[in-house]
A = this chain, B = another copy of it.
Amino acid sequence: MLYRQTIRWARAAELALAIDAGRERAQEALDALRRQRDDDRRPYLCLPARTDDLPAIEARAEAIRASGVGDVVVLGTGGSSLGTRALLALDGPTLGASSGLRVHVPDNLGATLMDAVLRDLDPARTHFIAVSKSGGTAETVAQTLTAFEAVSAALGPTRAAQAFTLVSEPGGSPLRRLAGQWGVATLDHDPDLGGRYSVMSVVGALPALLAGFDIAALRRGAGRVVDQALAPGADPAHVPAAEAAVLGHVAGEAAGAAIAVLLAYDDRLAPFTRWWAQLWAESLGKRGLGSTPVAALGPVDQHSQLQLYLDGPGDKLISLVKPVTAGTGPRVAPALTAGAGEGRLDYLSGRTIGDLVDAEADATAEALVRRGRPVRVLTIDRVDAETLGALMMHFMLETVITAHLIAVDPFDQPAVEEGKQLTRAALRGTGDALAAAVPAGLVSDLGVSAT
Protein backbone atom coordinates (compact mmCIF):
# COMPACT_ATOMS: atom_id res chain seq x y z
CA MET A 1 0.00 0.00 0.00
CA LEU A 2 1.51 3.32 -1.06
CA TYR A 3 -1.03 5.28 0.91
CA ARG A 4 -4.50 5.01 2.29
CA GLN A 5 -6.81 7.98 2.69
CA THR A 6 -9.50 7.97 5.34
CA ILE A 7 -11.91 10.91 5.54
CA ARG A 8 -14.15 11.45 8.55
CA TRP A 9 -16.62 14.28 9.05
CA ALA A 10 -19.84 14.04 11.00
CA ARG A 11 -21.46 16.76 8.90
CA ALA A 12 -20.87 14.90 5.63
CA ALA A 13 -24.17 13.02 5.92
CA GLU A 14 -26.24 16.22 5.91
CA LEU A 15 -24.24 17.52 2.94
CA ALA A 16 -24.74 14.42 0.78
CA LEU A 17 -26.40 16.36 -2.05
CA ALA A 18 -23.53 18.82 -2.32
CA ILE A 19 -21.04 15.95 -2.23
CA ASP A 20 -22.85 14.16 -5.05
CA ALA A 21 -22.85 17.34 -7.13
CA GLY A 22 -19.14 17.74 -6.46
CA ARG A 23 -18.45 14.17 -7.58
CA GLU A 24 -20.15 14.86 -10.88
CA ARG A 25 -17.90 17.85 -11.46
CA ALA A 26 -14.91 15.78 -10.36
CA GLN A 27 -15.85 13.23 -13.01
CA GLU A 28 -15.53 15.97 -15.63
CA ALA A 29 -12.13 16.88 -14.24
CA LEU A 30 -10.90 13.28 -14.37
CA ASP A 31 -12.14 12.90 -17.93
CA ALA A 32 -10.29 16.08 -18.93
CA LEU A 33 -7.14 14.91 -17.18
CA ARG A 34 -7.31 11.57 -18.95
CA ARG A 35 -7.49 13.32 -22.33
CA GLN A 36 -4.59 15.61 -21.42
CA ARG A 37 -2.47 12.67 -20.36
CA ASP A 38 -3.32 10.64 -23.46
CA ASP A 39 -2.58 13.61 -25.72
CA ASP A 40 0.73 14.25 -23.94
CA ARG A 41 -0.40 17.82 -23.24
CA ARG A 42 0.50 18.16 -19.57
CA PRO A 43 4.11 17.30 -18.72
CA TYR A 44 3.43 16.81 -14.98
CA LEU A 45 0.96 14.01 -15.85
CA CYS A 46 3.31 12.39 -18.33
CA LEU A 47 6.58 12.60 -16.39
CA PRO A 48 5.92 9.49 -14.26
CA ALA A 49 5.95 7.30 -17.37
CA ARG A 50 9.06 8.89 -18.87
CA THR A 51 12.59 7.52 -18.73
CA ASP A 52 14.04 9.03 -21.91
CA ASP A 53 15.05 12.27 -20.16
CA LEU A 54 16.99 10.59 -17.38
CA PRO A 55 20.23 9.65 -19.19
CA ALA A 56 21.07 13.30 -19.94
CA ILE A 57 20.37 14.30 -16.35
CA GLU A 58 22.41 11.37 -15.01
CA ALA A 59 25.26 12.28 -17.38
CA ARG A 60 25.34 15.82 -16.04
CA ALA A 61 25.23 14.52 -12.47
CA GLU A 62 28.13 12.21 -13.25
CA ALA A 63 30.15 15.08 -14.73
CA ILE A 64 29.55 17.14 -11.59
CA ARG A 65 30.53 14.21 -9.36
CA ALA A 66 33.61 13.55 -11.46
CA SER A 67 34.77 17.14 -11.01
CA GLY A 68 35.55 16.20 -7.41
CA VAL A 69 33.24 18.59 -5.62
CA GLY A 70 32.16 18.09 -2.01
CA ASP A 71 29.29 20.56 -1.95
CA VAL A 72 26.49 21.36 -4.39
CA VAL A 73 24.39 24.51 -3.98
CA VAL A 74 21.02 24.80 -5.71
CA LEU A 75 20.27 28.44 -6.49
CA GLY A 76 16.56 28.92 -7.01
CA THR A 77 13.43 29.87 -5.14
CA GLY A 78 9.83 28.67 -4.80
CA GLY A 79 8.96 26.15 -7.49
CA SER A 80 12.63 25.81 -8.39
CA SER A 81 13.65 24.62 -4.93
CA LEU A 82 10.80 23.65 -2.59
CA GLY A 83 10.28 20.30 -4.31
CA THR A 84 14.00 19.59 -4.29
CA ARG A 85 14.09 20.29 -0.56
CA ALA A 86 11.24 17.83 -0.07
CA LEU A 87 13.16 15.09 -1.90
CA LEU A 88 16.45 15.69 -0.11
CA ALA A 89 14.80 15.69 3.32
CA LEU A 90 13.86 12.00 3.05
CA ASP A 91 17.39 11.05 4.08
CA GLY A 92 16.64 12.23 7.58
CA PRO A 93 18.66 14.36 9.92
CA THR A 94 22.41 14.18 10.33
CA LEU A 95 23.58 15.93 13.47
CA GLY A 96 27.30 15.32 13.10
CA ALA A 97 29.56 16.37 10.25
CA SER A 98 28.44 14.62 7.08
CA SER A 99 30.77 12.90 4.69
CA GLY A 100 30.20 12.51 0.97
CA LEU A 101 28.46 14.99 -1.31
CA ARG A 102 26.40 17.60 0.51
CA VAL A 103 23.58 19.25 -1.46
CA HIS A 104 22.43 22.61 -0.07
CA VAL A 105 19.22 24.31 -1.14
CA PRO A 106 19.19 27.79 0.40
CA ASP A 107 15.80 28.42 -1.27
CA ASN A 108 15.38 31.86 0.21
CA LEU A 109 17.30 34.99 -0.77
CA GLY A 110 19.17 36.79 1.97
CA ALA A 111 22.34 38.76 2.38
CA THR A 112 23.41 36.70 5.42
CA LEU A 113 22.53 33.44 3.70
CA MET A 114 24.44 34.33 0.54
CA ASP A 115 27.38 35.56 2.60
CA ALA A 116 27.43 32.15 4.33
CA VAL A 117 27.41 30.28 1.01
CA LEU A 118 30.38 32.26 -0.25
CA ARG A 119 32.19 32.22 3.12
CA ASP A 120 31.75 28.59 4.25
CA LEU A 121 32.19 26.68 1.01
CA ASP A 122 35.44 26.09 -0.84
CA PRO A 123 34.99 27.54 -4.37
CA ALA A 124 37.29 24.86 -5.77
CA ARG A 125 35.11 22.06 -4.40
CA THR A 126 31.60 23.52 -4.87
CA HIS A 127 29.19 23.24 -7.78
CA PHE A 128 26.28 25.61 -8.29
CA ILE A 129 23.06 24.58 -10.03
CA ALA A 130 20.99 27.64 -10.95
CA VAL A 131 17.33 26.82 -11.57
CA SER A 132 14.98 29.38 -13.07
CA LYS A 133 12.30 28.42 -15.55
CA SER A 134 12.06 31.92 -17.00
CA GLY A 135 15.76 32.57 -16.75
CA GLY A 136 14.98 35.96 -15.25
CA THR A 137 13.83 35.33 -11.66
CA ALA A 138 15.36 38.24 -9.75
CA GLU A 139 16.42 36.18 -6.70
CA THR A 140 18.06 33.46 -8.76
CA VAL A 141 19.75 35.95 -11.09
CA ALA A 142 21.18 37.85 -8.11
CA GLN A 143 22.37 34.62 -6.44
CA THR A 144 23.91 33.31 -9.65
CA LEU A 145 25.68 36.52 -10.60
CA THR A 146 27.18 37.08 -7.16
CA ALA A 147 28.25 33.44 -6.89
CA PHE A 148 29.77 33.47 -10.37
CA GLU A 149 31.66 36.67 -9.59
CA ALA A 150 33.03 35.15 -6.37
CA VAL A 151 34.14 31.90 -7.99
CA SER A 152 35.63 33.77 -10.96
CA ALA A 153 37.60 35.98 -8.60
CA ALA A 154 38.96 32.90 -6.81
CA LEU A 155 39.61 30.55 -9.73
CA GLY A 156 39.30 32.51 -12.96
CA PRO A 157 36.41 32.51 -15.42
CA THR A 158 37.19 29.17 -17.12
CA ARG A 159 37.05 27.13 -13.95
CA ALA A 160 34.10 29.20 -12.73
CA ALA A 161 32.14 28.20 -15.82
CA GLN A 162 32.77 24.54 -15.00
CA ALA A 163 31.43 25.10 -11.49
CA PHE A 164 27.96 26.02 -12.73
CA THR A 165 24.98 24.31 -14.35
CA LEU A 166 21.91 26.20 -15.52
CA VAL A 167 18.44 24.67 -15.68
CA SER A 168 16.19 27.00 -17.67
CA GLU A 169 13.75 26.97 -20.56
CA PRO A 170 15.14 27.56 -24.05
CA GLY A 171 15.24 31.10 -25.40
CA GLY A 172 17.13 34.33 -24.96
CA SER A 173 16.50 34.97 -21.28
CA PRO A 174 19.11 36.81 -19.17
CA LEU A 175 20.50 33.69 -17.47
CA ARG A 176 20.45 31.72 -20.70
CA ARG A 177 22.42 34.43 -22.50
CA LEU A 178 24.92 34.74 -19.70
CA ALA A 179 25.39 30.97 -19.48
CA GLY A 180 26.10 30.92 -23.20
CA GLN A 181 28.70 33.67 -22.90
CA TRP A 182 30.36 32.09 -19.88
CA GLY A 183 30.35 28.57 -21.31
CA VAL A 184 28.13 27.14 -18.57
CA ALA A 185 26.44 23.78 -19.22
CA THR A 186 22.68 24.17 -19.57
CA LEU A 187 19.80 21.72 -19.29
CA ASP A 188 16.38 22.57 -20.66
CA HIS A 189 13.44 23.27 -18.35
CA ASP A 190 10.24 22.21 -20.14
CA PRO A 191 8.47 25.49 -21.10
CA ASP A 192 5.09 23.82 -20.51
CA LEU A 193 5.92 22.74 -16.96
CA GLY A 194 5.19 25.32 -14.25
CA GLY A 195 7.64 25.51 -11.37
CA ARG A 196 5.30 24.15 -8.72
CA TYR A 197 4.58 21.08 -10.88
CA SER A 198 8.23 20.52 -11.85
CA VAL A 199 9.67 18.46 -9.00
CA MET A 200 9.84 15.19 -10.97
CA SER A 201 11.58 16.83 -13.94
CA VAL A 202 15.23 17.82 -14.24
CA VAL A 203 14.52 20.53 -11.65
CA GLY A 204 14.29 18.03 -8.80
CA ALA A 205 16.05 15.17 -10.53
CA LEU A 206 19.52 16.67 -11.01
CA PRO A 207 20.12 17.69 -7.38
CA ALA A 208 18.36 14.55 -6.16
CA LEU A 209 20.52 12.25 -8.27
CA LEU A 210 23.60 13.97 -6.84
CA ALA A 211 22.30 13.27 -3.34
CA GLY A 212 21.64 9.61 -4.15
CA PHE A 213 17.86 9.98 -4.23
CA ASP A 214 15.94 7.42 -6.31
CA ILE A 215 14.13 9.50 -8.95
CA ALA A 216 12.87 6.40 -10.76
CA ALA A 217 11.09 5.28 -7.58
CA LEU A 218 9.61 8.77 -7.16
CA ARG A 219 8.14 8.58 -10.65
CA ARG A 220 7.00 4.99 -10.12
CA GLY A 221 4.95 6.01 -7.07
CA ALA A 222 3.50 8.98 -8.95
CA GLY A 223 2.69 6.75 -11.90
CA ARG A 224 0.65 4.42 -9.71
CA VAL A 225 -1.49 7.35 -8.59
CA VAL A 226 -1.99 8.64 -12.14
CA ASP A 227 -2.84 5.16 -13.40
CA GLN A 228 -5.41 4.56 -10.70
CA ALA A 229 -7.01 8.01 -11.02
CA LEU A 230 -7.16 8.02 -14.81
CA ALA A 231 -8.05 4.39 -15.42
CA PRO A 232 -10.87 4.08 -17.98
CA GLY A 233 -14.19 4.41 -16.22
CA ALA A 234 -12.68 5.33 -12.85
CA ASP A 235 -15.36 6.51 -10.44
CA PRO A 236 -14.28 9.73 -8.65
CA ALA A 237 -15.74 8.32 -5.43
CA HIS A 238 -12.98 5.72 -5.61
CA VAL A 239 -10.13 8.07 -6.51
CA PRO A 240 -8.54 9.50 -3.34
CA ALA A 241 -7.49 12.80 -4.92
CA ALA A 242 -10.95 13.38 -6.39
CA GLU A 243 -12.73 12.45 -3.20
CA ALA A 244 -10.52 14.79 -1.18
CA ALA A 245 -11.06 17.62 -3.64
CA VAL A 246 -14.83 17.17 -3.40
CA LEU A 247 -14.78 17.07 0.39
CA GLY A 248 -12.55 20.13 0.58
CA HIS A 249 -14.76 22.03 -1.81
CA VAL A 250 -17.94 21.16 0.08
CA ALA A 251 -16.29 21.98 3.41
CA GLY A 252 -15.26 25.35 1.99
CA GLU A 253 -18.60 26.22 0.41
CA ALA A 254 -20.96 24.80 3.01
CA ALA A 255 -18.96 25.03 6.19
CA GLY A 256 -16.61 27.97 5.68
CA ALA A 257 -13.45 25.89 5.80
CA ALA A 258 -11.17 28.61 4.47
CA ILE A 259 -8.01 26.96 5.80
CA ALA A 260 -6.39 23.68 4.73
CA VAL A 261 -3.96 22.24 7.26
CA LEU A 262 -1.46 19.57 6.25
CA LEU A 263 -0.05 18.04 9.44
CA ALA A 264 2.72 15.52 8.80
CA TYR A 265 3.91 13.26 11.61
CA ASP A 266 7.55 12.99 10.53
CA ASP A 267 10.32 15.57 10.31
CA ARG A 268 11.37 14.14 6.97
CA LEU A 269 8.04 15.27 5.52
CA ALA A 270 8.18 18.85 6.80
CA PRO A 271 9.66 20.23 3.52
CA PHE A 272 7.03 18.22 1.62
CA THR A 273 4.30 20.17 3.43
CA ARG A 274 5.95 23.42 2.38
CA TRP A 275 6.14 22.25 -1.24
CA TRP A 276 2.43 21.48 -0.97
CA ALA A 277 1.70 24.93 0.51
CA GLN A 278 3.02 26.60 -2.65
CA LEU A 279 1.20 24.16 -4.92
CA TRP A 280 -2.08 24.79 -3.15
CA ALA A 281 -1.83 28.56 -2.58
CA GLU A 282 -0.47 29.60 -5.95
CA SER A 283 -2.69 27.25 -7.97
CA LEU A 284 -5.98 28.10 -6.28
CA GLY A 285 -5.67 31.56 -4.68
CA LYS A 286 -7.38 33.57 -7.40
CA ARG A 287 -10.40 35.86 -7.86
CA GLY A 288 -11.15 35.82 -4.14
CA LEU A 289 -11.21 32.02 -4.11
CA GLY A 290 -8.98 29.27 -2.76
CA SER A 291 -8.25 28.18 0.78
CA THR A 292 -5.16 29.08 2.74
CA PRO A 293 -2.63 26.28 3.27
CA VAL A 294 -1.01 25.78 6.66
CA ALA A 295 1.98 23.44 6.82
CA ALA A 296 2.16 21.77 10.23
CA LEU A 297 4.34 19.15 11.90
CA GLY A 298 3.41 16.51 14.44
CA PRO A 299 3.79 15.92 17.30
CA VAL A 300 5.29 19.37 17.98
CA ASP A 301 2.29 21.29 16.67
CA GLN A 302 0.10 19.42 19.14
CA HIS A 303 1.94 21.68 21.59
CA SER A 304 1.65 24.70 19.34
CA GLN A 305 -1.50 24.67 17.18
CA LEU A 306 -3.84 21.91 18.41
CA GLN A 307 -5.60 24.08 20.99
CA LEU A 308 -6.63 26.36 18.12
CA TYR A 309 -7.57 23.50 15.79
CA LEU A 310 -9.79 21.87 18.41
CA ASP A 311 -11.37 24.86 20.11
CA GLY A 312 -10.86 27.84 17.79
CA PRO A 313 -12.96 28.73 14.74
CA GLY A 314 -14.35 25.77 12.77
CA ASP A 315 -12.74 26.99 9.56
CA LYS A 316 -10.26 24.20 8.85
CA LEU A 317 -10.03 20.98 6.89
CA ILE A 318 -7.24 19.10 8.61
CA SER A 319 -5.22 16.45 6.81
CA LEU A 320 -2.75 14.25 8.66
CA VAL A 321 0.05 12.37 6.95
CA LYS A 322 0.83 9.46 9.23
CA PRO A 323 3.71 7.07 8.62
CA VAL A 324 3.17 3.78 10.42
CA THR A 325 5.96 4.06 12.96
CA ALA A 326 4.82 1.66 15.66
CA GLY A 327 7.76 -0.40 16.88
CA THR A 328 10.45 1.89 15.46
CA GLY A 329 13.04 4.03 17.21
CA PRO A 330 14.53 3.76 20.68
CA ARG A 331 12.51 1.92 23.34
CA VAL A 332 11.63 3.27 26.79
CA ALA A 333 13.14 0.87 29.33
CA PRO A 334 10.57 -0.40 31.87
CA ALA A 335 13.17 -0.18 34.64
CA LEU A 336 13.34 3.58 34.14
CA THR A 337 9.61 4.27 34.05
CA ALA A 338 9.09 2.31 37.26
CA GLY A 339 11.13 4.90 39.12
CA ALA A 340 8.73 7.69 38.27
CA GLY A 341 6.31 6.29 40.82
CA GLU A 342 2.59 5.66 41.08
CA GLY A 343 2.36 4.05 37.66
CA ARG A 344 2.34 7.46 36.06
CA LEU A 345 4.64 6.47 33.20
CA ASP A 346 3.30 2.94 32.74
CA TYR A 347 1.79 3.98 29.44
CA LEU A 348 5.30 4.54 28.07
CA SER A 349 6.90 1.46 29.62
CA GLY A 350 8.47 -0.75 26.97
CA ARG A 351 7.06 1.44 24.22
CA THR A 352 9.14 2.92 21.41
CA ILE A 353 9.35 6.53 20.27
CA GLY A 354 7.53 5.34 17.13
CA ASP A 355 4.73 3.83 19.23
CA LEU A 356 4.21 7.16 20.92
CA VAL A 357 4.16 9.17 17.68
CA ASP A 358 1.75 6.65 16.16
CA ALA A 359 -0.61 6.88 19.12
CA GLU A 360 -0.43 10.67 19.16
CA ALA A 361 -1.39 10.94 15.49
CA ASP A 362 -4.38 8.64 15.98
CA ALA A 363 -5.45 10.47 19.12
CA THR A 364 -5.20 13.86 17.42
CA ALA A 365 -7.38 12.69 14.52
CA GLU A 366 -9.91 11.20 16.92
CA ALA A 367 -10.06 14.32 19.08
CA LEU A 368 -10.62 16.48 15.99
CA VAL A 369 -13.41 14.21 14.70
CA ARG A 370 -15.10 14.32 18.10
CA ARG A 371 -15.07 18.13 17.87
CA GLY A 372 -16.91 17.94 14.56
CA ARG A 373 -13.94 18.95 12.40
CA PRO A 374 -13.53 17.45 8.91
CA VAL A 375 -10.45 15.22 9.12
CA ARG A 376 -8.50 13.27 6.52
CA VAL A 377 -5.73 10.83 7.39
CA LEU A 378 -3.22 9.75 4.77
CA THR A 379 -1.55 6.64 6.18
CA ILE A 380 1.74 5.59 4.62
CA ASP A 381 3.72 2.44 5.27
CA ARG A 382 7.10 3.93 4.55
CA VAL A 383 8.77 7.32 4.19
CA ASP A 384 10.57 6.61 0.92
CA ALA A 385 10.90 7.93 -2.63
CA GLU A 386 8.08 5.83 -4.08
CA THR A 387 5.63 6.89 -1.36
CA LEU A 388 6.66 10.53 -1.67
CA GLY A 389 6.06 10.32 -5.43
CA ALA A 390 2.58 8.97 -4.75
CA LEU A 391 1.81 11.74 -2.24
CA MET A 392 3.11 14.47 -4.53
CA MET A 393 1.05 13.24 -7.47
CA HIS A 394 -1.98 12.82 -5.19
CA PHE A 395 -1.75 16.48 -4.19
CA MET A 396 -1.10 17.70 -7.74
CA LEU A 397 -4.28 15.90 -8.86
CA GLU A 398 -6.24 17.11 -5.84
CA THR A 399 -5.16 20.67 -6.60
CA VAL A 400 -6.05 20.49 -10.29
CA ILE A 401 -9.42 18.85 -9.58
CA THR A 402 -10.16 21.50 -6.94
CA ALA A 403 -9.30 24.18 -9.52
CA HIS A 404 -11.91 22.63 -11.81
CA LEU A 405 -14.49 22.70 -9.00
CA ILE A 406 -13.93 26.41 -8.31
CA ALA A 407 -13.25 27.28 -11.95
CA VAL A 408 -9.79 28.83 -11.74
CA ASP A 409 -6.68 28.13 -13.84
CA PRO A 410 -4.31 26.09 -11.64
CA PHE A 411 -1.28 26.85 -13.82
CA ASP A 412 -1.00 30.65 -13.78
CA GLN A 413 -0.10 33.18 -11.04
CA PRO A 414 -1.18 36.54 -12.46
CA ALA A 415 -1.26 38.63 -9.27
CA VAL A 416 2.41 38.53 -8.36
CA GLU A 417 3.54 40.55 -11.35
CA GLU A 418 2.73 43.91 -9.71
CA GLY A 419 5.12 43.22 -6.84
CA LYS A 420 7.89 42.37 -9.27
CA GLN A 421 7.34 45.62 -11.18
CA LEU A 422 7.41 47.62 -7.93
CA THR A 423 10.66 45.88 -6.94
CA ARG A 424 12.36 46.73 -10.22
CA ALA A 425 11.11 50.30 -10.03
CA ALA A 426 12.48 50.68 -6.51
CA LEU A 427 15.89 49.30 -7.48
CA ARG A 428 16.08 51.47 -10.58
CA GLY A 429 15.41 54.47 -8.36
CA THR A 430 12.17 55.24 -10.12
CA GLY A 431 10.19 54.03 -7.12
CA ASP A 432 11.13 56.96 -4.86
CA ALA A 433 7.77 58.62 -5.30
CA LEU A 434 6.26 55.49 -3.81
CA ALA A 435 8.40 55.68 -0.69
CA ALA A 436 8.29 59.44 -0.28
CA ALA A 437 4.56 60.04 -0.67
CA VAL A 438 2.23 59.75 2.31
CA PRO A 439 1.30 56.05 2.18
CA ALA A 440 -2.27 55.27 1.23
CA GLY A 441 -4.50 54.22 4.11
CA LEU A 442 -2.04 55.01 6.88
CA VAL A 443 -3.52 53.99 10.22
CA SER A 444 -0.58 54.38 12.55
CA ASP A 445 3.18 54.74 12.57
CA LEU A 446 4.83 54.05 15.93
CA GLY A 447 8.19 52.97 17.21
CA VAL A 448 10.10 51.75 20.24
CA SER A 449 13.58 53.14 20.69
CA ALA A 450 16.63 51.46 22.10
CA THR A 451 17.69 54.27 24.42
User: Of A32-40, A204-212, A348-356, which stretch is located at the interface?
Assistant: A348-356
A81-111 contact mask (Cβ, 8 Å, vs B): 1 or 0: 1100000000011111100001010111111
Copy count, this protein chain: 2
Judged by a CB distance under 8 angstroms, whether A185 is at the interface is no
Judged by a CB distance under 8 angstroms, whether A66 is at the interface is no
- Closest chain-B Cβ to A143's Cβ sits at a distance in Å of 8
Judged by a CB distance under 8 angstroms, whether A67 is at the interface is no
Q: Which residues of B contact A274 (CB under 8 A)?
A: 304
Q: Determine if B443 and A78 form an interchain contact, defined as CB atoms under 8 angstroms apart.
A: no
Partner of A446, one of B111, B239, B428: B239
Would you list which residues of chain A between 117 and 163 have a CB under 8 Å from chain B? 117-118, 120-121, 136-139, 141-143, 145-150
Judged by a CB distance under 8 angstroms, whether A3 is at the interface is yes
Q: Which residues of B contact A307 (CB under 8 A)?
A: 281-282, 285-286, 413-416
Q: Which residues of B contact A138 (CB under 8 A)?
A: 347-348, 356, 360
Judged by a CB distance under 8 angstroms, whether A392 is at the interface is no
A428-451 contact mask (Cβ, 8 Å, vs B): 1 or 0: 100100110001111111111110
- Closest chain-B Cβ to A235's Cβ sits at a distance in Å of 11
With known contacts A181-B339, A312-B289, A347–B428 Cβ distance under 8 A:
yes
Q: Determine if B386 and A450 form an interchain contact, defined as CB atoms under 8 angstroms apart.
A: yes
Partner of A312, one of B9, B281, B314, B445: B281
How many residues from A make CB contacts under 8 Å with B? 182
Q: Which residues of B contact A443 (CB under 8 A)?
A: 7-9, 12, 19, 243, 247
Judged by a CB distance under 8 angstroms, whether A31 is at the interface is no
Judged by a CB distance under 8 angstroms, whether A240 is at the interface is yes
- Tell me the complex Cα distance, A346–B118, Å: 23
Q: Determine if A240 and B446 form an interchain contact, defined as CB atoms under 8 angstroms apart.
A: yes
Q: Which residue of B lies closest to A434 (CB)?
A: B366
